[in-house]
Amino acid sequence: MALTIKQLRYVESAGRLGSIAAASGELHISQSSVTAAIDAVEAHLGFDLFSRVPARGIQPTPAGRDALRLMAGHLGAFRDFEAELSALGGTTTGEVRVACFATAAASFLPPLLTRFAVAYPGVKVTLREGNMETVLDTLEDGQSDLAFTYADVVPDHLLHTPLSTTPLYALVSTQDPLSGRPELALEDLQDRPMILLELPRNRRYYSDIFRRKGLAPRIAHVTGSTEMIRTLVESGIGYSILNARPPNYVEGGRGYRAVPLVDAGEARVFGYVTRPGIGQPGALRSFLAHVAMAKEEGLFDRIAIRAAATE
């Protein structure tokens, strides 16, 4: 018996969410329907897609993980096909699945999505938020159509389109006298406790900027959470070095200040990533055109903290 799109959707949802119950909620169907779809697909393939772990939901088997990746890609292509058929009537419809590096998202996504919704009310935008590694994984697995992140973490087989540059800056507590300066050098910071942001594909990026200058940072805490960094800096526990502007940042309006660094090396390049050689449906083409227009208007420059211009 041939597999159906419906069965694949049920199985892909369960695998992505790691739970039959969660898939049931997302799809608004019974858990027994999800279970029946899994059983049918496993019977058709001749191997188990998942192992059932008490109190931990379901976990993909090695073969199941590969199968789920293929399902996600196939379902994404089918969604694009449906959208292209609908667009023959003259109205752009469909879905655009956007993954974004969480630290930068708050600076530009809300106004971008608001304006896009007004221009293209028939297009649904689904967001997937994560760190630099997980947003690229969703793109490669076919779960997203594009991902916003930095160019230096993107593998060569993916296409990165630049949108803005983000110079490094120091996030300093307003309790620290350094917060009153217009700019800082790395040497100003090396004797102070540093709260280091460490993320997958990015583990030594921030500490290495000191080492390239022959300096050694005094690392007091390591975290993968920018929210934790802001809390610790605001409490006066240490400073941090970042690229993306803190969400809802207002100069002097919080217990920390973002101070540009003058000697931290080249700015990172922020942009969006797509898979080359993949046909783009009308909804995605419309979204990318909207992104290009927003770039020209300077929307993505909101991500950066820059030194004041000098005459």
Cβ neighbour number for residue 230 with a 10 Å cutoff: 20
Q: How many residues does the chain have?
A: 311
Residue 81, both tokens: 């096909």
Quick one: pLDDT at residue 178?
93
Residue 214 half-sphere exposure, CB side, CA atoms within 13 Å? 0
The string of pLDDT tens digits covering residues 78-103 is 777 776 666 654 556 788 999 998 77
* pTM (2 d.p.): 0.69
Residue 144 to residues 79, 95, 164, Cα–Cα distance (Å): 12, 10, 21
Does the CA dihedral 192-198-203-206 come out positive or negative? Answer: negative
Among 49-53, 77-81, 215-219, 248-252, the minimum mean pLDDT is found in 248-252
Q: What is the DSSP letter of 130?
A: E
pLDDT at 144 > cutoff 50: yes
Give the highest mean pLDDT range of 98-112, 242-256, 290-304: 290-304
Burial 193-227 (b: 16+ CB within 10 A, else e): bbbbbebebbeebbbebbeeeeeebeeeeebeebe
Distance between CA 120 and CA 176 in Å, rounded? 47
Nearest to 203 by CA among 184, 220, 224: 224
Query: For residues 277 and 77, is the Cβ–Cβ distance under 8 A?
Result: no
Query: For residues 198 and 226, is the Cβ–Cβ distance under 8 A?
Result: no
Quick one: pLDDT at residue 189?
93
Q: Which helix (H) or strand (E) holds 269?
A: strand 268-274
The string of pLDDT tens digits covering residues 194-221 is 999 887 666 678 888 898 889 989 999 9
pLDDT at 187 > cutoff 90: yes
pLDDT at 266 > cutoff 90: no
Domains and CATH numbers, the chain: 5-64 (1.10.10.10), 91-165+269-303 (3.40.190.10), 168-266 (3.40.190.10)
Beta strand extents in 46-176 (DSSP E only): 50-53, 57-60, 94-101, 123-130, 146-150, 159-166, 169-173
Query: What are the backbone dihedrals phi and psi of residue 249, each rounded to the nearest 5 degrees, phi first?
Result: -70, 130
Residue 245 half-sphere exposure, CB side, CA atoms within 13 Å? 20
Distance between CA 10 and CA 146 in Å, rounded? 23
Query: For residues 27 and 9, is the Cβ–Cβ distance under 8 A?
Result: yes
With 0-12 CB in 10 A as exposed, 13-18 as middle and 19+ as buried, what is 174? Answer: middle
Quick one: pLDDT at residue 310?
40
Average the pLDDT over 233-238 and give the result.
Answer: 93
Distance between CA 245 and CA 252 in Å, rounded? 14
Query: For residues 283 and 93, is the Cβ–Cβ distance under 8 A?
Result: yes
The residue to which tokens 């805490």 are assigned: 221
